[in-house]
Amino acid sequence: MCRGCAGNKTGEQGKQRVKAVCFLSMDDLTGYVSDDELAVAPLAELDIRVETVPWRQRMREWSEFDAVVIRTTWDYQRSPVEFLDVLAEIEAATRLLNSRKVVEWNFDKIYLRELRDSGVDIVSTLFETQYSQANFARWLDELDAPELIVKPRVSATAEHTFRLREFDASLESIFAERPFLVQPFLDEIVRTGEYSLFYFDGEFSHAILKEPKTHDFRVQEEHGGIISAVEATDAMRNAAAKALSVIPEKLLYARVDLVPSASSGFQLMELELIEPALYFRMEEHAAKRFAEAVARSI
């Protein structure tokens, strides 16, 4: 907890009060890659002090913060109800960024269906509830694909994401009581990678390319993914803007994940509005832009 932050002054009468912001995290980030600390100094320059707090700590004095920013809560999918309850507590006491309403919408990947129905070009996706051999054969046929990606609708960091050529009975227990997505495995992920575009307070900031390591398909750094800075093309930015235009609420941050498509330029893989890694280190001014967006939001 940032003790005393709420009542701090900058030292001279009449100067702006130092504000306190919480970066919501998890108990142990061992094995994960985060560079949120790069935003601390730019925020301090704007008279905003940062305290990082695990979301499971269940603080009762969230009101001591001027805002709570959801950041590295990368285990929320294991306790989704508890996580949403904590966000409700926070939002009752102070400003939550992004809002709980946005989190609830983005929480379940069923949101991809809404985006598709709104005209956003998403990766072909089936929304399923029963993992079985008969259904597996149907998925291969419906998606006209030799390989499939199967993953839970509520997930993070590629947890329980599988690349399959044939039915694997050992996965029945994993998907027995959770809805999931089925998508074609895209060779573009291995050949080219996945692009991510970052937006702060609605404004484009920077872009990266995430490539899987050899003999893998997962692009996250936790799984050996290779990250590099890229210039976003007009086609990328247009695809990202179309996806973000569906969201009626103002967003502190958004990450738009895109994959190349031979038919349409770029397709949406996911729209990350809860706890995306923001890769400040990949662009010189990214952390400053984020800090300025936070300052405008509190």
Distance, in Å, from the CA atom of 188 to the CA atom of 211, rounded to the nearest integer, reads: 10
**Contact yes or no for 33/220 (Cβ under 8 A):** no
- Rounded mean pLDDT of the chain? 89
Give the angle 174-175-176 at the CA atoms, nearest 5°. Answer: 100
Q: Is the pTM of this model over 0.85?
A: yes
Query: From residue 257, how far is each of 41, 177, 208, 284 by CA, in Å?
Result: 28, 27, 10, 21
Q: Options 1.10.1270.20, 2.120.10.30, 3.40.640.10, 3.30.470.20; which CATH number does 107-122+188-279 get?
A: 3.30.470.20
How confident is the model over 122-181, as pLDDT tens digits? Answer: 999 999 999 999 999 999 999 999 999 999 998 765 678 898 999 999 999 999 988 999
103: its two tokens = 């989190």
- Enumerate the domain spans of the chain: 5-98, 107-122+188-279, 126-185
pLDDT above 80: residue 21: yes
Question: pLDDT tens across 164-190, in order?
Answer: 999 999 999 999 988 999 999 888 877
CATH class label, 5-98: alpha beta
CB neighbourhood size of 203 (10 A): 10
Tokens of 97: 């960024």
Mean pLDDT for 32-59 is: 94
**Is domain 126-185 given the CATH code 3.30.1490 in the classification?**
yes
Tokens of 91: 């939002």
Q: What are 66-90's pLDDT values in tens digits?
A: 999 999 999 998 899 999 999 999 9
